[in-house]
Chain A
Amino acid sequence: MNRDRRDFLAQSTKLLFLTGAAQLGFEALLRGEPEAAPNYKTTDHWWGMIIDIEKCIGCGNCVRACKEENDVPREPYYFRTWVERYHVPDGDIERPQVDSPNGGYDGFPEKYRAGDGAKSFFVPKMCNHCAHSPCVQVCPVGATFESPDGVVLVDPTYCLGCRYCVQACPYGCRYIDPRTHTVDKCSLCYHRITKGLTTACCEACPTEARVLGDLKDPKDPIHEFLRTHKVQVLKPQMATGSKTYYNGLDGSVR
């Protein structure tokens, strides 16, 4: 491929996939100075996530990608995102069988038989980036916080390691990193989404079961999705203002 043609193609494909601010951010990224990505104004964004259970095939790509991208400890057992397999016998939503072998990192070896009278499905889990986060509420020093663009983040240089936030999260999304003794959790790939990229889990998802959305951007397809699907958040009774919306969420999921 000659250089000119490559450049031309690069330009046109870039236009295909990126627009405006995202593209400028992307250029800064390619220059190898991502922190200089311009044009990102925190007040112009409000991030959320769509997880479509009807599309999840339990391949574990998101779990692996997340650990790769965010340097999550492989062992012993910590996850920023993980996938659960539900097996609900005969619609008994109060007693589902659930497993998540190594968080889904190695995929899910077949365990159930087709036609056993139960329904089975995968449920990817991650931080819900709640608008009224119980974890942020309980942090005694302000080491975990909600960014102006709606992402719940951790300040590892300020975290005491008191673990109160781990107790306060109803979804089990937080863990103490054994290397730093500070709390860690999904950052919604803040280093990516502020540069016009999507999260690592969305990037790696082969079925678009997870899609990042900017709720403040009227052109973002998330609005169309939320309009045309019956969505639910996890544990709505907790009233945490979760911004991770599930399509096709079964009543047995908790």
Chain B
Amino acid sequence: MESILHGVEGYMYPNEMELQWSVLIVLYPFITGLVAGAFILASLERVFRVESVKPTYRLALLTALAFLLVAPLPLQLHLGHPERSLEMYLTPHTASAMAMFGFVYLWYLMAVLVLEIWLDYRRDIVRLAQTATGPLRYLYRAMTLGSYDVSEEALRVDDRAGYVITLIGIPSAFLLHGYVGFIFGSVKANPWWSTPLMPIVFLFSAIVSGIATVMLLYMAATRLRQATIDMRCLDTIARYLFYAFIIDFSLEMLDLVHRIYEADESFHTLDFMVKTRLYLPHIVVQIVLGTLVPLGLLALTQLVNLTERARRGTYALAGVLTLVGIFAMRWNVVIGGQLFSKSFLGYTTYKMAFATREGLLPAVLLMILPFVILWALVRLLPPWTDGREAETAA
């Protein structure tokens, strides 16, 4: 009992001593956010014809797929009865914001990402099915679905279909992550979560984190491949990151100002929490280090003429800080929302375990996993368009 009461201050309802959602649930919106953001970056090229980001188009799609495959794992690991998760598909409760996740997820995975990647890669798949050796050959053959038609007419069909799918994909990506925001934003019992702004704040922070991830991956991958970076592409991505970040920051500030000005019954409690227990992750990491600094760095590259080298360094730093900031934002939403009592009279502490099912170790492994998957995907379906694919594919 003493260990449970440790870190509790003021009055909490007895059942509230234990935090319900752990660091794994922090990963869930973080990872789905990366998916949605990466996809939206990819669709910039496809739908909005931003030609300069073309070098990252396929990388962004594969990144989205790699992260999407991992997205349900933290949820699965967190469940008291993981073996019952199929019930979400069998008897989804339509009134539940969570029930539809399975369907939104499947829709997005199958109907959007897999289809779009397949259509875009079909010419490569057919070529690889005919040239590859070893067991991989069978995989490529399976992926052709037995159709080797890569005539100009067939590719035109693919391009048109891919365009339509991207068109559907953009609202789907918005849905996927706006929806994750709604899971939190619709909990009326929790004033830290309950705001109609939540889905849209989640969405824009998702776009920000996705763009930053693809930007960093592109920089890292070109360096690993010892290829030359396309600065026009990088500058454009950074510009979009800057724009999306401004919208995201404005929305978050709107939420904050609104809370402070309205100062409803929960205000004193939340205010105290932000100034004490959440001060480091919220004020220092999320707002200053993870938002204001990268915004300043990105603004600097827009205002001042920097050398390519300096710009690359600035982008890399801004990108990393952005991801740290967005992760802190997810942390502050998920964990912060459970640190205060719904009686508004007390606070508890989150004690993260290490090597338990919901501890730090599985969280770290789950964060590494998408990069492993991405590495495999890149080997399987090389996304590079600068004429070096032949050597990487072999």
- Interface membership of B187, Cβ < 8 A: yes
8 cross-chain pairs, A with B, having the tightest CB-CB distances, nearest first: A161-B80, A172-B13, A181-B80, A170-B189, A140-B99, A98-B11, A163-B20, A141-B87
Which A155-203 residues sit within 8 Å CB-CB of chain B? 158-164, 166-176, 180-182
Q: Is there an interface contact between B342 and A171, defined as CB atoms closer than 8 Å?
A: yes
In the bound complex, CA of A167 to CA of B22 (Å):
13
Q: Is there an interface contact between A160 and B92, defined as CB atoms closer than 8 Å?
A: no
Given contacts A77-B1, A181-B80, contact A125 B13 (CB under 8 A): yes
Which B15-39 residues sit within 8 Å CB-CB of chain A? 15-18, 20-21
In the bound complex, CA of A23 to CA of B373 (Å):
66
Given contacts A76-B4, A141-B92, contact A159 B80 (CB under 8 A): yes
> What are the interface flags for A217-254 relative to B under an 8 Å C-beta threshold, 1 for contact and 0 otherwise?
00000000000000000000010000000000000001
Per a CB cutoff under 8 Å, which of B88, B95, B341 touches A172?
Answer: B341
Contacting residues, chain A, for B188 (C-beta < 8 A): 134, 168, 170, 238
CB distance from A74 to the nearest CB of B (A): 10
Q: Is there an interface contact between B345 and A164, defined as CB atoms closer than 8 Å?
A: no
Q: Is there an interface contact between B80 and A176, defined as CB atoms closer than 8 Å?
A: yes
Q: Is there an interface contact between A140 and B92, defined as CB atoms closer than 8 Å?
A: yes
Of the A-B pairs whose beta carbons lie under 8 Å apart in the complex, a sample of 8, sorted by A's number, is A76-B3, A138-B187, A139-B96, A141-B87, A159-B84, A162-B80, A167-B187, A176-B80
In the bound complex, CA of A125 to CA of B355 (Å):
36
Per a CB cutoff under 8 Å, which of A96, A136, A158 touches B345?
Answer: A96
Most central of A98, A125, A141, A180 by chain B CB within 10 Å: A141
Per a CB cutoff under 8 Å, which of A125, A139, A159, A168 touches B93?
Answer: A139
Q: Is there an interface contact between B96 and A137, defined as CB atoms closer than 8 Å?
A: yes
- Interface membership of B229, Cβ < 8 A: no
> What are the interface flags for B77-109 relative to A under an 8 Å C-beta threshold, 1 for contact and 0 otherwise?
011110011011011110111110100000000
Contacting residues, chain A, for B236 (C-beta < 8 A): none
B92 nearest in chain A by CB position: A140
- Interface membership of B375, Cβ < 8 A: no
In the bound complex, CA of A76 to CA of B20 (Å):
15
Chain B residues within 8 Å of chain A by Cβ, number: 44
A105 nearest in chain B by CB position: B14
Chain A residues within 8 Å of chain B by Cβ, number: 47
> What are the interface flags for A77-103 relative to B under an 8 Å C-beta threshold, 1 for contact and 0 otherwise?
111001010000000000011111011
B268 nearest in chain A by CB position: A94
Q: Is there an interface contact between A167 and B99, defined as CB atoms closer than 8 Å?
A: no
A99 nearest in chain B by CB position: B11
- Interface membership of B250, Cβ < 8 A: no
Per a CB cutoff under 8 Å, which of B3, B13, B98 touches A164?
Answer: B98
Q: Is there an interface contact between A182 and B80, defined as CB atoms closer than 8 Å?
A: yes
Contacting residues, chain B, for A7 (C-beta < 8 A): none
Given contacts A137-B96, A170-B342, A238-B188, contact A160 B14 (CB under 8 A): no
> What are the interface flags for B309-346 relative to A under an 8 Å C-beta threshold, 1 for contact and 0 otherwise?
00000000000000000000000000000100111110
Contacting residues, chain B, for A84 (C-beta < 8 A): 11
